[in-house]
Amino acid sequence: MEKMDVLIKRVVTQDQGTWVGLRRKLWSGSKKMHAAEVRDFSSKRNFICFIAWDEDKKAVGFSEASIRPFANGCKERPVPFLEGLWVDPRFRGRKIGKKLVGAVENWAIKRGFREIGSDALISNKVAHCAHTAYGFKETERVVYFRKSLIR
């Protein structure tokens, strides 16, 4: 795999449009919804986003993390949690994901945290392999349920 230099930078206000675009590659939801979340998160101290920029200043991936009050499988409370990670399919397998997670880890370490949590869908085997490669250990598997209470 060809090596690729990327710059990992914490988002600033000017990046908000790019950030919304990146989120929409990973998650469903309207542009409006993501724009509102991004505006909200930008003002929060307990939230971080890093974007990976290529040499042409194109965004090729992002990572997001928050400080959660607690997280399944983690020992400490509160605890930093990797909320999102995405790399442009054209540039996968070049350690961009690893760098994006590393930036989140450094942010958490600077704040005095000693562990970080994360999750991935049970079916997302690539994400499981990536987490293992980044040093995460699987803790538990969960199935979410929902019941409508509208009667």
Ligand X SMILES: CC(C)(COP(=O)(O)OP(=O)(O)OC[C@H]1O[C@@H](n2cnc3c(N)ncnc32)[C@H](O)[C@@H]1OP(=O)(O)O)[C@@H](O)C(=O)NCCC(=O)NCCS
Interface positions with ligand X (CB under 6 A): 26, 85-87, 92-98, 120, 124, 126-127, 129-130, 133
* Shortest spacing between CB 19 and ligand X, in angstroms: 15
Instruction: Give the DSSP letter of residue 125.
Output: H
User: Which residues partner with 45 through β-bridges?
Assistant: none
* Shortest spacing between CB 148 and ligand X, in angstroms: 27
Contact predicate 1/87, CB 8 Å: no
* Shortest spacing between CB 121 and ligand X, in angstroms: 7
Listed in sequence order, the DSSP H helices in 8-136 are: 16-26, 31-42, 96-110, 125-133
Those residues whose C-beta lies under 8 Å from the C-beta of residue 74, and which sit 6 or more positions away, are 81, 115, 116, 117, 139
Nearer Cβ to ligand X (39/58): 58
Nearer Cβ to ligand X (122/129): 129
CA distance 62 to 52: 6
Nearer Cβ to ligand X (38/131): 131
Nearer Cβ to ligand X (14/92): 92
* Shortest spacing between CB 10 and ligand X, in angstroms: 18
Q: Closest residue to ligand X, Cβ-based?
A: 97
Listed in sequence order, the DSSP H helices in 45-124 are: 96-110
